[in-house]
């Protein structure tokens, strides 16, 4: 299990698992899934899996006939973590959520969800500990919000449902709309009913499949606040999203999937592992001899011109290199407009990984 801060590249995080189920034949088989070494890019740091994981997934594969939804995926999610699951359309995210939510059986591999190994017969026990908010909330539109929640509370066997429903509605700021027909609610409000429904059973792991898709910025921000609130209550959140700024803001770690897992790590660790340090220098006028200024500086490994008076310097450590570069520019008579560390967003990381993906891009 990767410790927080660690970057694991695809294929590099073997997880030690014991007896496993091959659901294709529904027969138990023993295999030591752990010992596969990295077959693509190496893990930055290897650590044994934590015993405190909310979720461990080991070499999991799901195929629909000839089509592979995801293949040989391994990762683990810490308890109380908000874990982002990113990837292009068709990457296998929803199928992963449906598999871990026990709606469909994997083709191969294994997983432990909320402490229970994913296996035929374990669905009921797993479902009692988790909740899923699917891409489409799937509410009964001719029932009111309250009636929908009462129905699902009875299906889940929720004790003291009235109080639980009231609390869930309060959490999603929908108490005032509880007697409205779901048909009359906007998309964002229906999403919130879906979230309230997911909270009814007080899950230890909450799977949210694109919870902010189609929401306006204010409604999306409210969902973000709700997710942060859940984090504070110790709920583990597994979040699929296409909003990379959302993942960056909310997630402790993110996984990037494109049928196979491309990487897992904290956003800043992924950035550091993928992009080398660089300084962006802007001067009031073009430098007559930029090479003479930059290449003599300690810590500067290379430079390029990005415009008439804009330069990007490749450096080992931007904070160490910046003062010397500033002094050299001033000594060369340059008017410095700015020297900044180049910032790479999670979007840059995502695009770089998907762009260089040797496998199918769909
Ligand atoms: N029931 C199914 N039968 C056949 N193929 C399926 C089924 N469900 C999913 N797939 C296929 O599996 C692949 C992964 O689909 P999935 O819905 O998991 O992608 P996703 O990452 O959630 O995409 P999106 O970002 O568009 O929601 C796709 O090629 C999809 O067509
Ligand atoms: Mg999906």
Q: How confident is residue 276, by pLDDT bands cut at 50, 70 and 90? A: confident
Q: How confident is residue 51, by pLDDT bands cut at 50, 70 and 90? A: low
Look at residue 12 and tell me whether its pLDDT is greater than 60: no
Q: Mean pLDDT across the stretch 345-357?
A: 83
How far, in whole angstroms, is CA 259 from its chain's centroid?
15
Name the CATH code of domain 276-343 (choices 3.40.50.300, 3.30.70.100, 3.40.190.10, 3.65.10.10).
3.30.70.100
With H, G, I as helix, E, B as strand and everything else as coil, classify residue 269. helix
**Residue 152 C-alpha to ligand 2 middle, in angstroms?**
23
Look at residue 20 and tell me whether its pLDDT is greater than 60: no
DSSP assignment of 210-230 equals STTTT--HHHHHHHHHHHHHH
Q: Degrees (nearest 5) of the Cα angle 135, 350, 239?
A: 30
Q: What pLDDT is stored for residue 21 in this prediction?
A: 34
CA R_g for the chain: 24
Q: Degrees (nearest 5) of the Cα angle 224, 267, 253?
A: 65
Query: In the block, which residue shows the tokens 């409000």?
Result: 189
Domain 1-129+203-219+226-275+345-362 sits in CATH at: 3.40.50.300
- The full set of domain ranges for the chain reads 1-129+203-219+226-275+345-362, 138-202, 276-343
**Residue 205 C-alpha to ligand 2 middle, in angstroms?**
18
Q: Mean pLDDT across the stretch 86-106?
A: 95
**Residue 92 C-alpha to ligand 1 middle, in angstroms?**
6
Q: What distances in angstroms separate CA 133 from CA 39, 66, 139, 157, 323, one per listed residue? A: 34, 28, 11, 18, 50
113 vs 342 pLDDT, higher one: 113
Residue 104 CA: which ligand 1 atom is closest? Answer: 1
Residue pLDDT, tens place only, 105-123? 999 999 999 999 999 999 9
Q: DSSP class of residue 104?
A: S
Across the chain, mean pLDDT equals 83
> Model pTM greater than 0.95?
no
Ligand 1: lining residues by beta carbon, under 6 Å:
64, 67, 69, 87, 89-95
Residue pLDDT, tens place only, 131-160? 999 988 889 999 999 999 999 999 988 989
26 vs 95 pLDDT, higher one: 95
118's CB contacts (< 8 A; 6+ apart) are 21, 99, 100, 102, 106, 110, 111, 112, 126
Helices marked H in 57-160 — which ranges? 93-100, 123-127, 145-156
Q: How confident is residue 259, by pLDDT bands cut at 50, 70 and 90? A: very high
Residue pLDDT, tens place only, 157-214? 898 999 999 999 998 889 999 999 999 998 889 989 999 999 998 899 999 999 998 8
Half-sphere exposure of 343 (CA within 13 A, CB side): 4
| Residue 33 contacts residue 15 (beta carbons within 8 Å) | yes
């Amino acid at each position: 299990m990767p410790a927080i801060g660690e970057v694991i590249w695809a294929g590099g995080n073997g997880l030690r698992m014991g007896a496993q189920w091959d659901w294709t034949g529904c027969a138990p088989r023993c295999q030591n899934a752990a010992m596969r070494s990295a077959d693509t890019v190496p893990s930055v740091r290897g650590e044994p899996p934590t015993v405190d994981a909310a979720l461990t997934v080991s070499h999991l594969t799901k195929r629909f006939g000839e089509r592979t939804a995801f293949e040989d995926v391994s990762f683990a999610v810490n308890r109380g973590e908000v874990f982002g699951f990113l990837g292009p359309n068709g990457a296998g995210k929803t199928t992963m959520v449906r598999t871990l939510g026990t709606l469909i059986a994997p083709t191969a591999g294994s997983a432990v969800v909320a402490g229970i190994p994913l296996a035929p017969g374990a669905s009921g026990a797993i479902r009692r500990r988790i909740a899923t908010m699917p891409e489409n909330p799937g509410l009964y539109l001719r029932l009111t919000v309250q009636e929908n929640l009462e129905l699902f509370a009875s299906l889940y066997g929720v004790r003291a449902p009235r109080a639980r429903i009231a609390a869930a509605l309060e959490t999603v700021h929908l108490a005032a709309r509880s007697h409205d027909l779901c048909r009359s609610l906007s998309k964002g409000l229906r999403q919130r009913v879906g979230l309230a429904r997911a909270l009814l059973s007080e899950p230890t792991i909450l799977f949210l499949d694109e919870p902010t898709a189609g929401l306006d910025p204010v409604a999306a921000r409210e969902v973000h606040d709700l997710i942060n609130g859940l984090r504070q209550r110790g709920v583990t959140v597994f979040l699929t999203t296409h909003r990379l700024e959302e993942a960056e803001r909310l997630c402790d770690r993110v996984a990037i999937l494109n049928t196979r897992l491309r990487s897992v790590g904290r956003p800043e660790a992924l950035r550091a592992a993928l992009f080398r340090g660089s300084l962006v220098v802007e001067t009031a006028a073009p430098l007559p001899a930029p090479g003479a200024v930059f290449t003599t500086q300690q810590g500067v490994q290379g430079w390029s011109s990005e415009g008439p008076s804009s330069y990007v310097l490749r450096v080992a450590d931007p904070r160490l290199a910046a003062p010397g570069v500033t002094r050299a520019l001033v000594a060369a008579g340059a008017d410095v407009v700015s020297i900044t560390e180049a910032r790479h967003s999670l979007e840059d990381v995502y695009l770089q990984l998907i762009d260089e993906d040797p496998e199918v891009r769909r």
